[in-house]
Amino acid sequence: MKKKNGLYIITLSLILLFGYTSTTKIVDYEAFKEEMNSAGINNAHAATLIWIIPVYELIIVFLLMIKKTRLAGLYGSLFFLLPATAYIIILSANEPILKCACGGFLEQMPSVTHIFFNLLFILISIAGIWIIKPPVKLIHSV
């Protein structure tokens, strides 16, 4: 029962995170577009990412909502957050005040706070993966 409740909380947290960020980017498309263009990304890449990122986030939400695809959603979350966090770390090393295109209240976070926020959700994603698919235990023969 504890694993089921833990997985429910993990799944709900990720659904809220990605649902919020994708919706914010779609609703305030012009601001997201401007932030992506000023974030140090090549304009040709930014034009593509402006559409790919919120769609990918919505796909994660839908995968997390369905029990049969939940593990794929957790992996999708992890594989989205890892490069996003690396990108924030790289940019924050060069710019102490980082203009983030993450959407909503996340844009207002200082870069260090944002990095820890992302790391928390990376750990949450890993925990969800481990609940569904526990790590293989190595059997030592004597």
Give how many domains the chain has, as a whole number.
1
For the chain, give the mean pLDDT: 87
pLDDT tens digits along 69-115: 999 999 999 999 999 999 888 888 877 666 677 777 777 788 888 89
Give a yes or no: residue 31 inside a domain.
yes
Give a yes or no: residue 139 inside a domain.
no
The reply to whether the predicted model has a pTM over 0.95 is no
Distance CA 63, CA 68 (A): 8
Give a yes or no: residue 23 inside a domain.
yes
Percentage of the chain beyond pLDDT 90 is 51
Distance CA 58, CA 43 (A): 23
Using alpha carbons only, give the angle 47, 36, 30 rounded to the nearest 5 degrees. 80
Give a yes or no: residue 137 inside a domain.
no
Q: What is the pLDDT of residue 2?
A: 76
Mean pLDDT of 125-138: 88
Range of the domain at 72: 2-132
Reported as a pLDDT band with limits 50, 70 and 90, residue 142 is low
Give a yes or no: residue 85 inside a domain.
yes
Give a yes or no: residue 142 inside a domain.
no
Whether the predicted pLDDT of 40 surpasses 60: yes
